[in-house]
Structure 1
Amino acid sequence: MTSLAAPSSNTVGAFCAMAAILCFSFVDLGIKLLSETYALHQVVLLRSVVSLAVFGALIMPFSGGLGVFRTRRPGAHLLRGVFIVCANVCLFLGLAAMPIADAVAIFFISPLAIAAMSVVFLGETVGPRRWIAIAVGLVGVLMIVQPGTAAFQAASLLPAIAAILYGAMHMVTRKIRDTESAGTMTIYVILTFLVSSAIIGFFISDGRFEAGAHPALSFLLRAWPPLESADLWVIVMLGFAGVGGSWLITQAYRLSEAAFAAPFEYVAMPIAIFWGVVFFDTWPTANAWAGIALIIGSGLYMLWREHSTGRTREQPRYRR
């Protein structure tokens, strides 16, 4: 029975990962659209309020009601929340300063980072071929970032930092998956976003630190302008997509081995290119296309190896 249950759990986790990434692609698009007008902490606070309402209406009633707040691991939830908040801040600042496809491509060292971290922190096995795939993916990132050349911009490091923090968040998810439900993990992430953005906004929402020298810094430090009615739909979209993506990605890494689920996140890459072309009239450069191909190719190779080796995984019992 164990050998039959493992592929089923991995398959469900893979579909959850792809659905989550579709949600997160809408978040990336919304953040990019709002980044020239609003402050990052303002957008995150408004999104968190909508996400909290959506969670309360659509997820909490089916996740144990108020029991969703009950946890045995408050410290782990705080650590997980800090990781994902910092990852989002870095990624969103990168989106403000870079073409959306380039930022997302660099961020997609995350499946490679997750595979590497799963060895150190989870004791999962990554063979020599997958280590080579990880190295190839990093070469792809270097082709997009182009360190040491005139094309290099410091903002391109932000999505890379975000990817590492994102991977660290999933390591915590895997550690606490046996005692914490997806609903519990999701609500504490929403609350971490809500509290952190409110605190930051309290101290810098007047724009006193804005210098206007860089798009990312302006997005982080500008004063809070009034919300335009035409932008309200974007905030609502961010709230729905954010809570849906958070719940789905939590399920993905609870149900699947981390190194197995991660490559399915590459579905975001063609979506990001599509958003860039349709909304911002930007195409990846030749170097970026080559880097994207290496990053995606390395991740898909790891996925192929996962299937071809046909290893049997022992899966624990899950709370749902």
Structure 2
Amino acid sequence: MSISSISPTRLGIFCMLGGMFFISVNDMLVKSLSGGYPLHQLIMLRSVVAIGFTVALLMAEGGFKLLNTGRWVLHATRAVFILIANTALYAAIASLPLATATAIYFVAPLFVTLLSIPVLGEIVGPRRFAAIGVGFVGVMVMMAPQMMAGEGGYGWVVVLPVVAAAFYAGMSVLTRKLGQTSRASALALHMQLAFISVSAVVYLVAGDGRFVTPDSNPSVQFLLRAWVWPASADILPILGLGVLSAIVGYLMTQAYRLSHASVVAPFEYILLIFSLFWGWTIFGEWPATTVLAGAAIVIASGVYIFLREGRIKVNRPA
């Protein structure tokens, strides 16, 4: 069977599944490197590699003129949101089991639905509001036991995936809004430039590690430890982060371009299975039963929202 013979919907699903797999590999590599490098050094190196692919895509779609959209405030806000989301999520991954951070982060679609009301003017009915409420109950099921300090608990770090999810949702909603006038390549280039700029500032302010001590929380150490020259054994994984960033961006764009969001979005939850696999095989981790139970509640509510949105859009008069 050739690619041309596959329906756009199925091809979109395959792109989504591929995107989720490569995101899980990216997260696994970040966690693997978090004990020896600061986060923003990894982001800087990843973005330097990824920006080459992004510029090539921008040139193919129309060149640098696509960057001038006249909506700089929204672009800057979107960049700030994705910066905060990435920082919070990866800081959480440094301390939490990979699958636990991923499971809590799945609250993001619930935030997207909520934010679509004021930003996009979308109407959310009582059924979807009820599903959002159920989803947040699932988040509390996951978080409450994990927030207890001491043996078996992680304290404040458990909040970081929720912060990441909230700002990722804000970025997603703004992407929908900006996507009406901006190409995906332009949005991606703005994001990579923001990553490089902020990482450079972090290096100038905290690159010598002055704000962290050896007994600091692993998440704080990952954020603020001193920048170091990469070991030869780590160069390939670090370069791989940049390649993965470009691949994920392309696959996710294709997934939502080829298929309706209500069709492909539920397949994002396959990421939890990949995270469970890497956590178990690479790091010897397995999430608590409460995390798996809460994740099931969040995923069920998220899938219901996606399916409900798809049904409403199909039945809505043109």
TM-score by length of 1: 0.86
What pairs with 1:31-180 in structure 2 (closer than 5 Å)? 31-57=30-56, 59-146=57-144, 149-150=148-149, 151=153, 153-180=155-182
What pairs with 1:182-261 in structure 2 (closer than 5 Å)? 182-212=184-214, 213-249=216-252
Shift of 1:226: 1.7
Shift of 1:269: 1.1
Per-residue CA deviations over 1:181-226 (Å, capped at 9, x if unaligned) read 0011000000000111011112211111112320000011111122
RMSD, aligned α-carbons: 2.7
Q: Label 1:37 to 1:192 Cα distance change in 2 as closer, same or farther (>3 A).
A: same
Corresponding residue number in structure 1 for 2:4 = none
Shift of 1:256: 7.4
> Is 2:131–2:305's contact at 8 Å kept on the other side of the alignment?
yes
- Report the identity percentage: 39
> Is 2:262–2:310's contact at 8 Å kept on the other side of the alignment?
no
What is the CA–CA distance in structure 1 between the aligned matches of 2:113 and 2:258, rounded to whole Å? 16
> Is 1:204–1:223's contact at 8 Å kept on the other side of the alignment?
yes
What is the CA–CA distance in structure 1 between the aligned matches of 2:245 and 2:166, rounded to whole Å? 20
> Is 1:118–1:171's contact at 8 Å kept on the other side of the alignment?
yes
* 2:36 alignment partner, SS class: coil
> Is 1:100–1:276's contact at 8 Å kept on the other side of the alignment?
yes
* Residue range with higher mean Cα deviation, 123-132 or 14-23: 14-23
Aligned length: 307
Q: Label 1:173 to 1:235 Cα distance change in 2 as closer, same or farther (>3 A).
A: same
> Is 2:12–2:254's contact at 8 Å kept on the other side of the alignment?
yes
Per-residue CA deviations over 1:159-183 (Å, capped at 9, x if unaligned) read 1000000000011111111210001
What is the CA–CA distance in structure 2 between the aligned matches of 1:99 and 1:253, rounded to whole Å? 29
> Is 1:173–1:253's contact at 8 Å kept on the other side of the alignment?
no
* 2:285 alignment partner, SS class: coil
5+ unaligned residues in a row in structure 2: which ranges?
1-6
> Is 1:71–1:184's contact at 8 Å kept on the other side of the alignment?
no
TM-score by length of 2: 0.87
Shift of 1:254: 7.2
**Alignment match of 1:288 (pick from 288, 291, 313):** 291
> Is 2:16–2:252's contact at 8 Å kept on the other side of the alignment?
yes
* 2:314 alignment partner, SS class: coil
Q: Label 1:307 to 1:253 Cα distance change in 2 as closer, same or farther (>3 A).
A: closer
Per-residue CA deviations over 1:33-90 (Å, capped at 9, x if unaligned) read 1100001111111111111122234x23422233343333222221111110110000
5+ unaligned residues in a row in structure 1: which ranges?
1-7, 316-320
